[in-house]
A and B are shown apart, each in its own frame.
Chain A
């Protein structure tokens, strides 16, 4: 069975601090896909990144960066110089190779960025 653990339920930081959200996953598949989604207070789910299990390159997109380490089954997300608009719930999710419609989500991390 697939499982995603986001051990940090809530994180609170002050604006301009860097913050890392942890994601640890379990799967028996050799090919799998990892995702991060953002859910702002308005409630919609916003896609941030997709990574397949064969691509262990770290990725940077503006203030966002992702660190994928297959050896520790982790896919951590760092926000550099956080801003108040980053306040949201962030979800990590694990997808199967053969079915894009089956995602296993972590429980989410509530990030609050204070001015």
Chain B
């Protein structure tokens, strides 16, 4: 199993450009999430999904879109990049057992710089 994969690893954008961060998992997990990590602020939830076709907003959704057409893939779209979106982005997946949610499996992260 590859686990959770993210591409690209690094990206530099200019203000106003759009792009999609890719995330895929091969563990058949129903739950997937996107977080951003900024210095001194921990990880903050951007968007999440509880299954194919179902997405919802997290704590900091503005400027980002998601869709979930398959169980495996959960891309994050930046509509018009801003310097405030400079961050490290992590994708995660997990599953819900009878005893509640299990730990989230994280991808390696994408380091995004917006100039």
Contact = CB atoms under 8 A, between A and B. Distances in A.
Interface in B81-101: 88, 90, 92, 94-96, 99-101
A24 B55 CA distance: 29
Interface residues of A, number: 28
Contacts of A57: none
A53 to B, nearest CB: 9
A47 B3 CA distance: 14
Contacts, number: 77
B44 A101 contact: no
Chain B contact residues, majority secondary structure: strand
Interface range for B:
20 to 34
Contact of B103 (A6, A50, A97, A107): A50
Nearest to B48: A101
Given A102-B48, A102-B58, A105-B44, A33 B33 contact: no
Interface of A: 4, 6, 9, 31, 33, 35, 37, 43-45, 47, 50, 52, 91, 93, 95-97, 99-108
Shortest 5 CB-CB distances between A and B: which pairs? Answer: A100-B101, A101-B31, A105-B42, A101-B48, A45-B106
30 contacts: A31-B100, A35-B104, A43-B88, A44-B106, A44-B108, A44-B109, A45-B106, A47-B104, A47-B105, A91-B42, A95-B101, A97-B100, A97-B101, A99-B50, A100-B31, A100-B96, A100-B101, A100-B102, A101-B32, A101-B49, A101-B50, A101-B101, A101-B104, A102-B33, A103-B33, A104-B59, A105-B44, A107-B40, A107-B42, A108-B42
Given A43-B109, A93-B43, A107-B42, 7 more contacts: A35-B104, A47-B105, A100-B96, A101-B50, A101-B94, A103-B104, A107-B41
